Amino acid sequence: MINNQHRVIVNVGEAHGHQPVTAKPSVVSVSSIDSDVSDRRDVREALYSGIFRRHRKTILVLGSFLKMLRAYLDRMHALAQVFVIVTL
């Protein structure tokens, strides 16, 4: 907000002839924040475990492919360094 202005909420249908309603910050306790964080963490872990369970074979195949690709690229990089040394 610019210059610490308060946010004003106006209903479109009631904008004519009525005063706007000023939004006031709500009071949030630390325990409710901890509870929300814990709930979100539990939901995220359940989601990830469900995804892993459902797509386990695909994830393992993709991981194996990436491992093989990394090894191949490392060998190609080593060969390229040897080739550069030989050509100089």
Separation of alpha carbons 36 and 29, rounded Å: 11
- Residue in this structure with the two tokens 């080739």, named with its chain if needed: 83
22 - beta bridge partners?
8
14-32: per-residue pLDDT in tens?
A: 545 555 555 555 555 556 6
Residue 61 has pLDDT above 90, yes or no: yes
Separation of alpha carbons 58 and 72, rounded Å: 21
10 CB-near residues (< 8 Å, 6+ apart): 20, 21
What the block records as the tokens of 83 is 């080739």
For residues 51, 55, 61 and 63, what is the CA-based torsion angle, rounded to 10 degrees? 0
* Number of domains into which the chain is organized: 1
44-57: per-residue pLDDT in tens?
A: 899 989 888 999 99
Domain range for 72 is: 2-87
pTM: 0.43
SS3 assignment, position 52: helix
